[in-house]
Amino acid sequence: MNIVQTAQIIKEKLQGKHPQTAIILGSGLGALGQELQNSITIPYKEIAGFPQTSVKGHTGQFICGNLSGQEVLCLQGRFHLYEGHPATLINEVILVLRELGIKELIVTNAAGSLHTDMPAGSIMLIKDHISINTPNPLIGPDDEKYGPRFPDMSNAYDEKIRAQIKSLAQKQGITLYEGTYFLSIGPCFETKAEIKMLQTLGADAVGMSTVPEVISAVHAGIKVLGLSVITNLGTGLQKEAPSHQETLENAAKASKDLTNLIKSYLGEKTHG
Ligand code: HPA
């Protein structure tokens, strides 16, 4: 993908809007896009060279508009490694966002819980991730223009933003868990033994997205806020294996809280 040219096509379609925050909407969380005011929709298929999504529940379009007084750019539909996309393609998508002037990225996802006391329908604020030995989006020649060869990941999920989100959740009476997200490449769900391994490794939730986007964003100097909607307990922690349908239903339940949290966070940026 030609980063500059692709960004230019999108810029022209944004009709003078200059969003600085992008929100990637995960499985079943696309409804937030409908809350945007004065919005413009740009289907990915209208952007020459831009990849297409193939997952049910992932529409495949940008929506740009106002949310709580901020101009935001929502990605309704993301690119997963299990669809066969190379990790480097995810890096290119993030570099397009950077080229558009995005300074902060809010990533949302559906994830499985690794604790029986973090049930389906919960929200988990991501404080860190584990993804050793999965394809890294930065593999390949490094372009110093975008970021360093060996980026620091010690504050990948910005601590100040996390503190703000925790305080907002408390004010609104939203129960917010905080934990470490493990990237499982998918598309199959984990085995029982794998879930036990992830618990031992210190992970709190498992999902099939987010990590490549976050690595690219951190590398490119974009601040990150990550929120998981817990749609099921990991394999073996509940009686029946999770289905994609169950994932979508539980996401819908928690998405109301998640939407309120994101809206109040953006509102605070406007007024603070
Ligand atoms: N495992 C991996 N990815 C997921 C899960 C899960 O249990 N639930 C939602 N996404």
- The preferred substitution site among 122, 130, 231, 233 for testing ligand 1, maximizing ligand atoms within 8 Å of CB, is 231
209 lines ligand 1 (CB under 6 A): no
d(CA 269, CA 10): 25
Task: Dump pLDDT digits (tens) for 167-220.
Answer: 999 999 999 999 999 999 999 999 999 999 999 999 999 999 999 999 999 999
pLDDT value for 270? 67
Which residue's structure tokens are 């408390």? Answer: 170
Output the residue whose Cα is nearest ligand 1's atom 2: 207
Determine how many CB atoms are found less than 10 A away from the CB of residue 69. 13
Position 142 pLDDT exceeds 90? no
CA 189–ligand 1 middle distance (angstroms):
6
Pairing status of strand 123-130 against strand 176-183: parallel
For residue 205 the two structure tokens come to: 């939730």
* Spatial contact of 28 and 247, defined as CB atoms under 8 Å apart: yes
CA 244–ligand 1 middle distance (angstroms):
9
Position 241 pLDDT exceeds 70? no
What residues contact 194, with CB distance under 8 A and at least 6 apart?
Answer: 184, 235
* Spatial contact of 238 and 232, defined as CB atoms under 8 Å apart: yes
28 HSE (CA, 13 A, CB side): 22
13 HSE (CA, 13 A, CB side): 20
Position 77 pLDDT exceeds 80? yes
d(CA 83, CA 91): 15
* Spatial contact of 90 and 139, defined as CB atoms under 8 Å apart: no
What is the pTM for the complete model shown? 0.94
Task: Dump pLDDT digits (tens) for 147-177.
Answer: 999 999 999 999 999 999 999 999 999 999 9
CA 271–ligand 1 middle distance (angstroms):
36
